Structure 1
Amino acid sequence: MKPEKLEQTVQVTKALYLREHEAIKEILAQEAEIRAQLARLDAQVAQAAARPQQTHSVRMVGADILWRGWESKTRRQIHTQLAQVQARKLGAMEQLRRAFGRKDAMEKLQKMEQANLIRRRQTRRQDNLLDSILTKP
């Protein structure tokens, strides 16, 4: 492969890798937000449990049953969202690994090609030097 074409291919694979990297960053941000929602819900539940003086009056009205139902429904929704984001993350991680592999392989190929080019130049120079020494009588 010509050096110019190889350089273009390396740049393309780097760009594809960076695109996959940005996509995974967005997914990770979504996952962090969902985990924060879950933590806020846990804090609300803990705060509600820490108020024993209100428990009796809340139970008389039946609000504790409604609260537990709301908390259970909300927790289930958050866990569903988290599972969906984690599934997307797994797919994105696989794409990121592939993109990194391609990028890494192209960079290694470019380095090997540059080393071969340097080696061929050195060999050609040595051959030219030997020819000039041998042809000078």
Structure 2
Amino acid sequence: MGTLSRLRDFTADRDAVPPVPISAEGIDDELDQVITESNAQDVRLDTLDAFTHLPVDATIAATDTHIIVADGTDFDNVAVSGDATLTNAGVLTIASDAVTGAKINFIDDSVATTDTHILVSDGSDFGNVAVSGDA
């Protein structure tokens, strides 16, 4: 089976219905030879250049404030849900009181809320210390 390593030299009408096959016109002799040897039916694309085109169909149609999420097989158009909202300008807002101390991993007994104590950092983590002196 022939293996192709880049797509930038291919030409195709991506939006044609039905789709137009990839054309090898203008590609170097080495690639033309790979296609000829493999009879063009077993050519596999191993890597792609930067993703520049997203085909639009019913599952990924442009929908206000939705995002495109992959499940490892394909993409789907979904709304952000839960404790956050997303605007069509890309602003993500977390709902009031959605983040609690129990939801933050670094909070443990050493930084739990304690009357007359403050949090002090040593540059790598926080500690819960009593206010002392002339404070």
Structure with more helix by fraction = 1
**Structures share fold, TM-score greater than 0.5:** no
TM-score, normalised relative to structure 2: 0.20
Structure exhibiting the larger radius of gyration computed from Cα positions: 1
